[in-house]
């Protein structure tokens, strides 16, 4: 049961205010499941806002109506209404999460979704940890986020930067006006090993994560096991998860765990400062009057793309019997630019033509198509009822409309792409193998875009900086043990190549997991056709599916 309603909370010396939260908790409740389980969640919307919940990273095979993105797979659950999400956990172990998939509400409506092996902890492909701890990175605004979102929508600007980053909902005591009560504490026993399940639920900020005097062995990302990877820093973009073992092998005492932003975009505003959220790792028995303040880890600079790239590109999959392996032949190849730009109309005008308005407004796009959600019915219903007309079009391009120098530093307005707002999908035949090159652009600013695909994991074959060059890149493809993910952080001013098999019929959102970019149109949808049998076709909608 998930009751979405009001929670009164006070942080950063602000008067108590009402936020939207699940079961009165921030973060919301953790859902525990085992591989093979069916998860049933009754959403009871007692908030004043339209609501949907997305089960981030769950394949939703056979249950496309439970995926959750508003207007893609369902109409919103209205205030005072309910909807039941029901899905299976199949072939996935590790850490996922859930979040609101409407407006900016995921700022406070989110929680962990922990998938354990059928055989319990004994069945992990690594030594059984003494304990486990969930570490959710987030962002906190002193304002009502729904109002911020409305304002953003009307002005065409992204919502302003957050007031603080958080760990498990708390900013930590390094912020002004924040103290031990607003600092999460994690107790450890000397010489025991802990599994940290780290989730980046922040809306717009990739993070470096460290614990002073401790290092990690990464064993999984996005609920897929990895070859054990030793590191003293975890790099995690919004939407991603990292499972890391941490040995409590330091001298008994107190240590900060700290998360600070990374991205090499324009270093301005709080989002790009070294503002750091902290929690405390406390060795049992070490806290007393005399205890010195916790030790703070040294954080990489916000523009340390080298450290980010090293972590993200060094990960490989742990190849296990029965696990999917990378498909070697490809049916559909796509080259897709992801980035910012300017568009011809205000977001509030929704669909409009390509006549430039003055002034042009900030926008985001994939292959120059700036995505807008339909308003009358969900895309999945339109697909199911063969009624795409007026809801979406099947002309998402496989190439950008103009080839230009995507990543050079010189600003060149001649190649600045003006985008048009549209609702374009790419239709895929059931079981097609898709290879997609995701190319960041320098339009407005180079940035690492965390690209998330619903309904699937994909293999990340290679990634690099600069403009994609097919011959050089192809020579670097990892076709043996590429990491499996649901969210890839396309390198800043660079590219990533992914592959997946379209064996899950339905309408699957693909988008930048920066909320600011998603709302400006950095998104598209895959329409995956039915297979030959009832099991491989979109089932009829559940009876309680909300109507628009
Ligand atoms: Cu975690 Cu479409 O999002």
- The one-digit pLDDT tens for each residue of the chain (548 residues) are 578 888 888 888 888 888 899 999 999 999 999 999 999 999 999 999 999 999 999 999 999 999 999 999 999 999 999 999 999 999 999 999 999 999 889 999 999 999 999 977 679 999 999 999 999 999 999 888 888 888 777 776 677 788 889 999 999 988 888 888 899 999 999 999 999 999 999 999 999 999 999 999 999 999 999 999 999 999 999 999 999 999 999 999 999 999 998 874 444 444 445 578 999 999 998 877 677 889 999 988 888 889 999 999 999 999 988 888 899 999 999 999 998 877 765 544 444 444 555 556 778 899 989 999 999 999 999 999 999 999 999 999 999 988 888 888 665 554 566 788 899 999 999 999 999 999 999 887 788 999 999 999 999 999 999 999 999 999 999 999 999 999 999 999 999 999 999 999 999 999 999 998 998 899 999 999 999 999 999 999 999 999 99
Residue 358's contacts (CB-CB under 8 Å, 6 or more residues apart) are none
Report how far residue 226's alpha carbon sits from residue 316's, in angstroms, rounded to the nearest whole number: 6
- The pair phi, psi for residue 413, each rounded to 5°, is -65, -20
Closest atom of ligand 1 relative to the 56 alpha carbon: 1
Pairing outcome for strands 110-116 and 31-34: parallel
The answer to whether 493 and 264 are in contact (CB under 8 A) is: yes
Predicted pLDDT at 293: 85
CA 174 to ligand 1 center in whole angstroms: 30
Task: Determine if the peptide bond prior to 27 is cis (ω within 30°).
Answer: yes
Report how far residue 455's alpha carbon sits from residue 436's, in angstroms, rounded to the nearest whole number: 16
Closest atom of ligand 1 relative to the 509 alpha carbon: 2
CA 25 to ligand 1 center in whole angstroms: 21
Closest atom of ligand 1 relative to the 487 alpha carbon: 1
CA 288 to ligand 1 center in whole angstroms: 43
CA 354 to ligand 1 center in whole angstroms: 29
Tell whether ligand 1 has an atom less than 6 A from the beta carbon of residue 450. no
Report how far residue 394's alpha carbon sits from residue 529's, in angstroms, rounded to the nearest whole number: 12
Nearest Cα to Cα of residue 243 among 395, 416, 465, 92? 92
Token pair 């011959």: residue: 471
Domains in the chain, please, with CATH? 332-528 (2.60.40.420)
Tell whether ligand 1 has an atom less than 6 A from the beta carbon of residue 61. no
**Residue with CA at minimum distance from ligand 1 atom 3:** 56
CA 173 to ligand 1 center in whole angstroms: 30
Residue 413's contacts (CB-CB under 8 Å, 6 or more residues apart) are none
Tell whether ligand 1 has an atom less than 6 A from the beta carbon of residue 454. yes
Tell whether ligand 1 has an atom less than 6 A from the beta carbon of residue 54. yes
Closest atom of ligand 1 relative to the 68 alpha carbon: 2
The answer to whether 278 and 296 are in contact (CB under 8 A) is: yes
In 10 A of CB 249, how many CB atoms? 13
CA 101 to ligand 1 center in whole angstroms: 7
Nearest Cα to Cα of residue 240 among 87, 89, 94, 452? 452
Closest atom of ligand 1 relative to the 518 alpha carbon: 2
Whether this model's ipTM surpasses 0.85 comes out as yes
Token pair 């590790």: residue: 94
In 10 A of CB 528, how many CB atoms? 27
Tell whether ligand 1 has an atom less than 6 A from the beta carbon of residue 517. no
* Three-class DSSP category at 340: strand
CA 250 to ligand 1 center in whole angstroms: 37
Report how far residue 411's alpha carbon sits from residue 431's, in angstroms, rounded to the nearest whole number: 41
Closest atom of ligand 1 relative to the 454 alpha carbon: 2
Torsion angle, alpha carbons of 327, 453, 447, 102, to 10: 180
Token pair 């055989």: residue: 119
**Residue with CA at minimum distance from ligand 1 atom 1:** 56
Report how far residue 53's alpha carbon sits from residue 31's, in angstroms, rounded to the nearest whole number: 13
Q: Which residues partner with 369 through β-bridges?
A: 366, 420
Sign of CA dihedral 484, 445, 150, 372: negative
Predicted pLDDT at 269: 46
Predicted pLDDT at 1: 56
Predicted pLDDT at 42: 96
- The alpha carbon of residue 441 and the mean position of all alpha carbons in its chain are separated, in whole angstroms, by 20
């Amino acid at each position: 049961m998930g009751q979405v309603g009001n929670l009164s909370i006070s942080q950063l010396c602000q008067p108590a205010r009402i936020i939207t939260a699940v079961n009165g908790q921030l973060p919301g409740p953790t859902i525990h499941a085992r591989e093979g389980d069916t998860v049933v969640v009754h959403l009871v919307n007692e908030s004043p806002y339209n609501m949907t919940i997305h089960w981030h990273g769950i394949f939703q095979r056979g249950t496309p109506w439970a995926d959750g993105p508003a207007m893609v797979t369902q109409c919103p659950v209205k205030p005072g209404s309910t909807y039941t999400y029901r899905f299976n956990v199949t072939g996935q172990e590790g850490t996922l999460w859930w979040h609101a998939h409407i407006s900016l509400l995921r700022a406070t409506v989110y929680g962990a979704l922990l998938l354990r092996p059928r055989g319990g902890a004994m069945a992990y492909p690594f030594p059984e940890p003494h304990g486990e701890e969930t570490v959710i990175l987030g962002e906190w605004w002193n304002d009502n986020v729904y109002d911020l979102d409305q304002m953003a929508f009307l002005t065409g600007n992204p919502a302003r930067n957050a007031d603080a980053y958080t760990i498990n909902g708390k900013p930590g005591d390094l912020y002004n006006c924040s103290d031990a009560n607003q600092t999460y504490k994690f107790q450890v026993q000397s010489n025991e090993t802990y599994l940290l399940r780290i989730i980046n639920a922040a809306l717009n900020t990739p993070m470096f994560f460290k614990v002073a005097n401790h290092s990690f062995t990464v064993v999984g990302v996005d609920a897929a096991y990895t070859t054990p990877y030793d590191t003293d820093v975890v790099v995690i973009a919004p939407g991603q998860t990292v499972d890391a073992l941490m040995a409590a092998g330091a001298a008994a005492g107190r240590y900060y765990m700290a998360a600070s932003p990374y991205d090499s975009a324009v270093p301005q505003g709080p989002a790009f400062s070294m503002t750091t959220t902290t929690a405390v790792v406390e060795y049992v028995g070490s806290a007393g009057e005399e205890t010195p303040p916790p030790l703070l880890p040294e954080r990489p600079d916000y523009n340390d793309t080298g450290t980010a790239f090293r972590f993200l590109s060094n990960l490989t999959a742990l190849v296990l019997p029965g696990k999917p392996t990378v498909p070697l032949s490809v049916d559909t190849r796509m080259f897709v630019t992801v980035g910012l730009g300017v568009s011809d109309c205000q977001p509030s005008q929704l669909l409009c033509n390509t006549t430039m308005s003055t002034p042009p407004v900030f926008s985001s796009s994939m292959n120059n198509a700036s995505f807008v959600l339909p308003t009358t019915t969900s895309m999945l219903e339109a697909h199911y009822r063969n009624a795409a007309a007026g809801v979406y079009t099947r002309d998402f391009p496989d190439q950008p409309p103009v080839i230009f120098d995507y990543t050079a530093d010189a600003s060149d307005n001649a190649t600045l792409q003006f985008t048009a707002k549209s609702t374009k999908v790419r239709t895929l035949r059931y079981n097609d193998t898709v290879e997609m090159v995701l190319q960041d652009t320098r339009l407005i600013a180079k940035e690492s875009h965390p690209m998330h695909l619903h309904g699937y994991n994909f293999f990340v074959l290679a990634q690099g900086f600069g403009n994609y060059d097919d011959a050089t890149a192809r020579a670097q493809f990892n076709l043996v043990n590429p990491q499996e993910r649901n969210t890839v952080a396309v390198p800043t001013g660079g590219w990533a190549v992914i592959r997946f098999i379209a064996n899950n019929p339905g309408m699957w959102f693909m988008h930048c997991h920066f909320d600011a970019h998603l709302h400006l149109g950095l998104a598209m949808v895959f329409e995956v056709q039915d297979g030959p049998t009832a099991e491989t076709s979109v089932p009829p909608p559940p009876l309680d599916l909300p109507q628009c």
